[in-house]
Amino acid sequence: MEMEKTPAARAMEWSIEFEKGIRSRKPGQSFESIKKLGQRLVEWNKGPKHTVTMCNMFDMVPGEERLFADGILLRLATTFASGDKDTRICVVKAFYSTFRRCGKKGRGEYLILTMMSLDNKRELLRRIRAVFYDGDVESRALCLICFGCLSIIAKGVPEVQYIILSSLRSSHVLEMKASLFAAGCISELSNDFAAFFLETLINIITVPSTSLVLRLAAMRTFVKLGNFRSLARKAHKVGSELVLKYPEEELSIAMAISLTKIAINSMPLIFEQFGLLFSFLNQTTTLPLRATALRCIHYILKRKGYHILISGFSSENLFKLLYEADLPSSLRCEALKIILLVISYMSSDVLLMHVHELEKLLMLSENSTVSKFVSESLLEMHVIVKMSCKLNGRIETAGGEVFPDHLSRVASLFCDRLAELMKLVLSHNWRFDMVKQLKILLKLLLHLVNGQPQLASFMVEKLCSVILYNVTDRGMGVDSTISTSEVHVVVGEGDKNLERFMFLLYRFFTVCLESLHEAGAATTVVFCRLKNLVSFVCQCSLFSCSTHTLYTLLLYPVANWTYVLSEASTDNVQHTPINLVGNYPEIECFITECPRNILAGDKWFAYVAGKYAACNGSWSIANSIFENLYVSTPSGAYSRWLRALAQLGYSERCAHSLFMKVGSSGSLNHVLSGEFIKELVAICDGLSSTEKMLAVNGTPNQTFCFQRWFLVLRRKGLEALVDILKLLCSVQLGKDDQIASPDSLMPLEQMSQLQCFLDGISSKLERAAGECDLLASSFFDMDSKSLKVISTLALSCSLLAFSIGFAYFYPNSSALEESTSCASKGSGYCLHVALVQNLMGRLCHTDSDSCVTLMSLLRSDGLHKACFHSQPRFPMSRTGSQPVMIRRACRNAVEAVACLQESMEGQTQDGLLRATQNGTQVLMNVIKDWIHFTFQLPTYFFKVRSCIGAFLFVSGFNSKSGAEPVIPQGSHLSLNLCLRLENVPLDLISHLKKVHCILHCKTSTLIRPHREPSGQKLIDHRAWTTDTMLHMHEKLRSYVLSTGDSIDDRVSSGHEVVEACISFVTNGTRQAFSTCLLDVSAFRVGSYKIQWHSSCVDGRGLYSTVLPLNDGPAFTIAKP
């Protein structure tokens, strides 16, 4: 585990290797060496500038990299001058690949060339210039290309400019084209040279003797004249005139592209260019030129669309183009792509004026034949969906006219397309490209359904009818002689294409049902139709066991939804009751038998079925599937992974069965029984065993980090429940879960002691909720659904912590105050403020009433004096069965605690003793609700990959790289820091500009002088969940979000703790450097450990934690 050397740090190594390769007599070795050096120069040119910090980290002499850069470039020039034709071509390719894009604005810097001294720049050009004067036509052309690549240093050299301009009058085509390239490169950097070059270009194009090849090359070079606004307008005007003068197709296409790129930076030129491009769209123009005009319009709109549409861009010509009868499909697709861009920038009011075009396009799609090109059909449907979603219900009143049933017509159009695809599947005419077509259709349909609950209901019913009709119509219906419990016996492997088709439809049904429930539009009609579909699929031998299992999972959430909807009166929502529970015995019977033969089909689909079952909380299905897969899989990494999933499924199935006994018995006496607690402890042991399996499976880069961390959080919640129940066993409950008699009331001392124990449990749960926040922010690529699952787990921990902490907390009671020590009272107040803060931060987005009640708790004596600031957490779903249940439990708990606190004001000792009955009852009610929360796995749990994180490398200013910093007592600690990102996707790195880091050191972190080197030990989630790490996470998060990207290095010092925040500028690279100064002058002699934590704000503006993958550095304070 070492720092990754920067290109500048490897300059000496590269220089030596290049020299060896050039001198090698092995055939082709010199060419390979030049090619390899070109690739390295590209990497160097993209890298950061070398700083003093980098020199210190890599033990380099300042200026060393500049010396080797000059030597490498001069050696390349010498190789070019002394080599043969093939060698010179290799050198030109190396220069071209390194510097071809540097002259364009915003595309980087000439990092290597700018480091060269003035004398070396002149020498580099002199060696190339010598070849030009002594060489043939091909050698002169290669020299001109080199001058173009080195334009940053050649632009101000009169000799080079003279060579380029004189070559423009050459009689050789090859030399002329090379000089056009060189002149264009310098024109991007020099306004004066560009003005002269424009006149030269005009002469080259207008001279009658100029060949078509040279005229075409000259028109393509026009694009180089757009960097300077004063010259761009003149170049665009001249180019437009030349297009009319030379109407040949190739010349018009070349000039249209060049003028488009010239006009892109000037709004007046853009509209002039639009006039030219639209003139090419008439039917008399050739198809290649029309296609080029459409691509140029798309290019402009993609970069300047918003400003153009505000200025009055008209899209009528584009819509007219769609209705041409003989328009080729390729041109229609280009026009549709442009319309999609236009719609995305249009407001709904402006788009409303084009509603007639939407109606025409919809009619065109409805009347189109099946043989229409797939890409064209999909683009049409994309335009229809985007316009319909943008108008969002305003179509019915557009322009005073009525367009009835517009959305249902669009949905029916999609269903017709899906029905056509299903017919192809059933007739075995399925092609591989149809999978992509199906995915696009369903994605567009989901976009249409989103926010349209009535359309979701319509789509569920319509698709159910499509499946039932197509399967039955082909004589593939249900075998009436087979009972539901026997279906699995005759089900074979099934058709792979049909299985894939049904799997994609299943995913669509899942999202539709979630949309229905979140919008409160779940009705009996929809679910009855869905129940009929599931029953049909499960009894049809055409489908495999995996399909049977997946579609059965569609009905499992209905039980929870029915429970929520039956209680919906508290949320002031009216629903039609849903009665599907009566069919569950048949479903359970089928599910129990099906996994035994599910491996008769594709194992991958069986695994997917188990995954979806675990994510839905259907643990009996998940356990059965994963156990069967584990038994049939050979030993190895996959087998160990499946074994861990099977063990997890077994533990959660036992937990589900155990918790269901509480609901069936209707009494909480069972919860406080020794048998219940014993079984709960066994479940915790099973989760611990699963976590250990994954630990053995793990690799040095923490492959199973997320899975292990999530299981630990689940286990912590259950272990806290075990501790609570053990403490409450001393409180005897009678009938109806009430305290039997006053004789069973606890004395004050016992209640005070119980409160201390409960505060400890509450503190652990509050900390577990904080760990959930850290977990959710630590994985960049986590999907939104997984984030909501983790947020739900955090809220459940916060709810239980709040209820435990406030069950016996009476700050206004003088009786309890006398029996409570001052120390415990002060710590209790801080804890209870934190509990309120934690719960309020999670409910502030979804339940404002509960937040108001929580604020009222802070006004009581003792609590209002504490500092309070609510930090918003990761948002949880506003609707859905699980969130609604938890939020209702939170509301009940908050109201009950508030009533409990209010009833205790001014109470005496007798009143306080009797209040234990109410406090215990509140706590037991919360526990009863808590154990009925369905535990689900986030979908991210099944993404097994290396952990995203960072390594921190440290060296002192006066110490060598890798050596532990040693400073005299009373001094400040100066550090050179290197932060290297690990396993971060390239697309995410390109958007990162800064990474922030916090260093934390305590005077109490003295370590032994003899140990392994600091910063070399890999760490995992156990080190990330320490109190110090959570403190650093909260502090860095608050600091970064409050100061933004302009964060500066700041240091906070105290008698016990020294902390510093540092920013690393990454600029799209994996490694960044910075410095830090820590005030450790008050530290005693000895060795100390620095702990660290890091974070960033990605391109979407979301805060993310970058987990530390190695332990913190150490430093030593010696006697002066």
Left (φ > 0), alpha (ψ -120 to 50) or beta: where does 626 sit?
A: alpha
- Count Cα atoms within 13 angstroms, Cβ side, for 107: 11
Q: What is the pLDDT of residues 400-455, one digit of tens each?
A: 444 557 778 888 888 888 888 888 888 777 777 788 888 888 888 888 887 677 77
Q: What is the pLDDT of residues 820-855, one digit of tens each?
A: 444 444 455 677 788 888 888 888 877 778 888 888
Give the range with max mean pLDDT: 278-282, 713-717, 733-737, 1107-1111: 713-717
> In this structure, what token pair is assigned to residue 149?
């690549």
Q: CA–CA separation, 584 vs 382, rounded Å?
A: 40
Q: CA–CA separation, 889 vs 885, rounded Å?
A: 6
- Is 647's pLDDT higher than 90? yes
- Per-residue model confidence (pLDDT) at position 1055: 57
- Is 234's pLDDT higher than 90? yes
Any idea which residue has 């499976």 for tokens? 697
Torsion, CA 283, CA 285, CA 289, CA 290, rounded to 10: -10
Strands of the sheet with 1006-1007, listed across from one edge: 966-968, 1114-1118, 1086-1089, 1006-1007
Instruction: Provide DSSP, 127-149.
Output: HHHHHHHHS-HHHHHHHHHHHHH
The answer to whether the Cα torsion of 228, 234, 237, 241 is positive or negative is negative
- Per-residue pLDDT averaged across 110-139, rounded? 88
Of residues 733 and 355, more confidence is placed in: 355
- Is 867's pLDDT higher than 50? no
Are 102 and 110 within 8 A, CB to CB?
yes
Measured CA distances, 194 to 101, 150, 767 (Å) = 18, 16, 66
- Per-residue model confidence (pLDDT) at position 29: 92
- Per-residue model confidence (pLDDT) at position 944: 86
- Per-residue model confidence (pLDDT) at position 910: 61
Q: CA–CA separation, 490 vs 500, rounded Å?
A: 20
Are 33 and 21 within 8 A, CB to CB?
yes
- Which percentage of the chain shows pLDDT scores above 90? 24
- Per-residue model confidence (pLDDT) at position 485: 39
- Per-residue model confidence (pLDDT) at position 566: 43
Containing H/E element for 421? Answer: helix 406-426
Contacts 24+ apart (CB under 8 A), 284-291: 286/249, 287/328, 287/331, 288/249, 288/253, 289/249, 289/252, 289/253, 289/256, 290/331, 291/330, 291/331, 291/334
Q: What is the pLDDT of residues 779-818, one digit of tens each?
A: 888 888 898 899 989 999 999 999 898 887 766 554 445 4
Provide the H-helix boundaries in 729-821.
Answer: 748-777, 784-806, 814-818
Instruction: Name the nearest CA neighbour of 952 among 1117, 777, 1106.
Output: 1106
Residue type, 842: R
- Per-residue pLDDT averaged across 15-34, rounded? 92
Q: CA–CA separation, 217 vs 583, rounded Å?
A: 75
Any idea which residue has 């440290």 for tokens? 954
Instruction: Name the nearest CA neighbour of 262 among 214, 228, 302.
Output: 228
Query: Per-residue confidence at 468, pLDDT binned at 50, 70, 90?
Result: confident
Query: β-strands 949-956, 1006-1007: how paired?
Result: unpaired
Q: How many residues does the chain have?
A: 1120
- Is 1014's pLDDT higher than 60? no
Q: What is the pLDDT of residues 972-981, one digit of tens each?
A: 999 999 999 9
The whole-chain average pLDDT of the chain stands at 79
Instruction: Name the nearest CA neighbour of 411 among 441, 435, 390, 451.
Output: 441
Buried b (16+ CB within 10 A) or exposed e, 338-354: bbbbbbebbeeeebbeb
- Per-residue pLDDT averaged across 666-685, rounded? 81
- Is 107's pLDDT higher than 60? no
Q: CA–CA separation, 808 vs 908, rounded Å?
A: 15
> In this structure, what token pair is assigned to residue 89?
């071509």
Containing H/E element for 277? Answer: helix 267-279
- Is 869's pLDDT higher than 50? no
Beta-carbon contacts of 508 under 8 Å, excluding residues fewer than 6 positions away, are: 442, 445, 446, 463
Residue type, 183: A
- Per-residue pLDDT averaged across 942-964, rounded? 83
- Per-residue model confidence (pLDDT) at position 105: 42
Query: Per-residue confidence at 1047, pLDDT binned at 50, 70, 90?
Result: very low
- Per-residue model confidence (pLDDT) at position 599: 56
- Is 39's pLDDT higher than 70? yes
- Is 577's pLDDT higher than 60? no
Give the range with max mean pLDDT: 337-351, 585-599, 608-622, 1008-1022: 608-622
Any idea which residue has 């310098």 for tokens? 186
Are 165 and 204 within 8 A, CB to CB?
no
Query: β-strands 1057-1065, 994-1002: how paired?
Result: antiparallel
Instruction: Name the nearest CA neighbour of 838 among 877, 866, 798.
Output: 798
Q: CA–CA separation, 167 vs 180, rounded Å?
A: 9
Query: β-strands 1086-1089, 994-1002: how paired?
Result: unpaired
- Per-residue model confidence (pLDDT) at position 743: 44
- Count Cα atoms within 13 angstroms, Cβ side, for 1090: 30
Containing H/E element for 966? Answer: strand 966-968
Q: CA–CA separation, 261 vs 243, rounded Å?
A: 15
Q: What is the pLDDT of residues 243-300, one digit of tens each?
A: 988 888 999 999 999 999 999 888 889 888 988 998 898 888 899 999 999 999 999 9
Ranking 388-392, 423-427, 948-952 by mean pLDDT, the lowest is 388-392
Query: β-strands 973-982, 949-956: how paired?
Result: antiparallel
Containing H/E element for 1018? Answer: none
Q: What is the pLDDT of residues 730-770, one digit of tens each?
A: 655 444 444 444 344 455 566 667 778 888 899 999 999 98
- Per-residue model confidence (pLDDT) at position 575: 38
For the question of whether the overall pTM of this predicted structure is more than 0.75, the answer is yes
Containing H/E element for 27? Answer: none
Are 789 and 710 within 8 A, CB to CB?
no
Instruction: Provide DSSP, 928-963.
Output: HHHTTSPP---GGGG---PPPEEEEEEEETTS-TTS
Are 524 and 628 within 8 A, CB to CB?
no
- Per-residue model confidence (pLDDT) at position 260: 94
Strands of the sheet with 1091-1097, listed across from one edge: 1050-1053, 1057-1065, 994-1002, 1091-1097, 1103-1108, 949-956, 973-982, 1071-1078
Containing H/E element for 727? Answer: helix 705-728
The answer to whether the Cα torsion of 160, 162, 165, 166 is positive or negative is negative
- Per-residue model confidence (pLDDT) at position 684: 94
- Per-residue model confidence (pLDDT) at position 182: 94
- Per-residue model confidence (pLDDT) at position 790: 92
Q: What is the pLDDT of residues 327-345, one digit of tens each?
A: 888 888 898 898 888 888 7
- Per-residue model confidence (pLDDT) at position 738: 47
- Per-residue model confidence (pLDDT) at position 941: 94
- Per-residue model confidence (pLDDT) at position 745: 47
Provide the H-helix boundaries in 1000-1069.
Answer: 1021-1024, 1027-1043
Query: Per-residue confidence at 581, pLDDT binned at 50, 70, 90?
Result: very low
Instruction: Name the nearest CA neighbour of 488 among 626, 614, 606.
Output: 606
How far is C-alpha 914 from the chain's CA centre? 53
- Is 890's pLDDT higher than 70? yes
Strand partners for 981: 950
Q: What is the pLDDT of residues 1074-1100, one digit of tens each?
A: 999 998 888 888 889 899 999 988 767
Measured CA distances, 956 to 991, 1113, 1119 (Å) = 31, 11, 17
Instruction: Name the nearest CA neighbour of 610 among 579, 641, 585, 580.
Output: 641
- Is 606's pLDDT higher than 90? no
Instruction: Name the nearest CA neighbour of 296 among 323, 269, 320.
Output: 269
- Per-residue model confidence (pLDDT) at position 596: 53
Query: β-strands 966-968, 1114-1118: how paired?
Result: parallel
- Per-residue pLDDT averaged across 581-591, rounded? 49
Instruction: Provide DSSP, 34-63.
Output: HHHHHHHHHHHHHSPPP-HHHHHHTT--TT
Q: CA–CA separation, 811 vs 410, rounded Å?
A: 62
Ranking 368-382, 464-478, 660-674, 729-743 by mean pLDDT, the lowest is 729-743
Are 947 and 781 within 8 A, CB to CB?
no
